[in-house]
Amino acid sequence: MQKTVAEIAKIIEGEVVGDASVVIKGVSGIKEAKPGEIAFVANPKYLSLINETGASAIITPKDVKEAAKPIVRTENPSLAFARVVS
Segment 6-32, tens digit of pLDDT: 999 999 999 999 999 999 999 999 999
What pLDDT shows up at residue 66? 85
Separation between Cα atoms, residue 11 and residue 34, nearest integer Å: 22
Q: Does 67 score more than 90 pLDDT? A: no
The confidence band for 44, taking pLDDT boundaries of 50, 70 and 90, is: confident
Better-predicted residue by pLDDT, 47 or 72: 72
Contact 30, 58 (CB under 8 A): yes
Sign of the dihedral through C-alpha 3, 12, 37, 19:
positive
Give the chain's mean pLDDT: 95
Sheet strands side by side (includes 15-17): 15-17, 71-74, 57-61, 37-40, 26-27
**Domains in the chain, ordered, with CATH?**
3-85 (3.40.1390.10)
- pTM of the full structure: 0.94
